[in-house]
Amino acid sequence: MRTQKVGPAPRKFLTLLLVCGLAGRLGATPDPTKVQGPEACGECHKQEVEAWKLTHHYSTFNEMHRSDDAKAIAEKMGIHRIKSESLCLDCHYTEKQQADGPTVIAGVACESCHGAARDWINVHNDYGKGFKKETELPDHKAMRLSAALKAGMLRPDDIYSVAENCFQCHVIKDEKLVNVGGHNAGTADFDLLAYSQGEVRHNFFDSAGKVNADDSPARKRLLYTVGALLDLEYSLRAVGRATEKASYAITYAHRVKADKARLVLINQAAPTQEVTDILAVADKVSLKLNNSDELNAAADKVKTLAQAFAKAHDGSDLSGVDAMLPKPESYKGTVYQPAAAKG
């Protein structure tokens, strides 16, 4: 067996670590040796790239390190070059392997959310020799999708896995970065539905690139509920990392309480066994300092149940939550529409 170079772990290895309950020790950075870069995707996904270029995920690449806030954080953390320190890299940038080593090529990009693509880029779109989307055989399609998954692709259908990425960055893992560095303690109001359907939205498939479509009502319910479950899971892990009574610990203890309160309402509006079980798990833990074993064990249980929830429900059975969903006016940022759709 070859010795493993120290660096971002391949996704398979990462999954193993997650299963072993060590989540949180790695960032969301895709493996630089497998990253293709957004231009490679743009060959076929032109509108997706146009939409992405108007997001904070894109602009952070050119803007973040220049801001006074960034300089102040870096100074307090003893960091000299923001773009090459893994502490900032993990969440603000994408690296790609070049002749002289991994190089920052973009901000948060396609592969930060869909997985580093070297092994699936030519698999996920291959309908079979002589076949098109419309004529692809069902067996071939099943094989193609499972091959892409095995090669590390995170598909929108697997809503838990795609959304999990958001929380690996929008929940801060490093207590010091917040308490000492003065970085904000993550995105306090991160609602998966509101945050994915504004500037981040890129749903062009059904219109072949013409319209950035609104998700179906069922899909919205699912995004909202799975997002609430992930927020609870990741906030529990964050409290588990807290060692001092300061901003980080206090923020995430509050966030766990707010998540529980929201899930109680969700479960009243659209009761499910999974959410009932998750609330029972969350009720048992104590949100105190230096309690990582108990909090991680609880987060692992929440994860398993949340994944089961995401598999078992397509949203059609969750119409009870409709009144709770954030309205389009509160979606985060402006939805990009191709010129033709603006009329």
* Shortest spacing between CB 16 and ligand HEC, in angstroms: 20
Residue among 57 and 301 whose Cβ is closer to ligand HEC: 57
CA–CA distance, 301 with 278 (Å, rounded to integer): 8
Based on the shown chain and the rule CB under 6 A, indicate whether residue 70 belongs to the binding site for ligand HEC. yes
Q: Which stretch binds ligand HEC (CB under 6 A): 63-71, 228-236, 320-328, 334-342?
A: 63-71
Residue among 54 and 269 whose Cβ is closer to ligand HEC: 54
Based on the shown chain and the rule CB under 6 A, indicate whether residue 52 belongs to the binding site for ligand HEC. yes
Based on the shown chain and the rule CB under 6 A, indicate whether residue 214 belongs to the binding site for ligand HEC. no
* Shortest spacing between CB 220 and ligand HEC, in angstroms: 8
* Shortest spacing between CB 87 and ligand HEC, in angstroms: 5
Q: How many CA atoms lie within 13 A of 56 on its CB side?
A: 11
CA–CA distance, 203 with 205 (Å, rounded to integer): 6
Residue among 196 and 296 whose Cβ is closer to ligand HEC: 196
Residue among 156 and 271 whose Cβ is closer to ligand HEC: 156
Residue among 94 and 296 whose Cβ is closer to ligand HEC: 94
CB atoms within 10 A of CB 202: 20
Amino acid at 304: T
The answer to whether residues 102 and 32 touch, using CB atoms and an 8 Å cutoff, is: yes
Closest to 21 in 3D by CA, of 303, 228, 307, 235: 303
Residue among 56 and 254 whose Cβ is closer to ligand HEC: 56
340 Cα distance to chain centroid: 30
**Residues 248-307 interacting with ligand HEC (rule: CB under 6 A):** none
The answer to whether residues 247 and 179 touch, using CB atoms and an 8 Å cutoff, is: yes
Q: Residue from 105, 106, 151, 166 that binds ligand HEC (CB under 6 A)?
A: 166
Given the structure tokens 């013409």, which residue do they identify? 210
Closest to 301 in 3D by CA, of 321, 318, 284, 289: 284
The size of the interface with ligand HEC (CB under 6 A), counted in residues, is: 71
**Residues 139-158 interacting with ligand HEC (rule: CB under 6 A):** 155-157
Burial class (CB in 10 A: 0-12, 13-18, 19+), 85: middle
Q: Residue from 13, 15, 205, 288 that binds ligand HEC (CB under 6 A)?
A: 205
CB atoms within 10 A of CB 117: 23
Residue among 14 and 49 whose Cβ is closer to ligand HEC: 49
Q: Which stretch binds ligand HEC (CB under 6 A): 102-110, 230-238, 265-273, 274-282?
A: 102-110
Q: Is the dihedral of CA 229, 256, 275, 193 positive or negative?
A: negative
Closest to 320 in 3D by CA, of 275, 279, 266: 266
Q: Which stretch binds ligand HEC (CB under 6 A): 178-186, 237-245, 306-314, 317-325?
A: 178-186
CA–CA distance, 26 with 18 (Å, rounded to integer): 10
* Shortest spacing between CB 284 and ligand HEC, in angstroms: 27
Q: Residue from 80, 133, 327, 342 that binds ligand HEC (CB under 6 A)?
A: 133
Based on the shown chain and the rule CB under 6 A, indicate whether residue 221 belongs to the binding site for ligand HEC. no
Based on the shown chain and the rule CB under 6 A, indicate whether residue 49 belongs to the binding site for ligand HEC. yes
The answer to whether residues 266 and 225 touch, using CB atoms and an 8 Å cutoff, is: yes
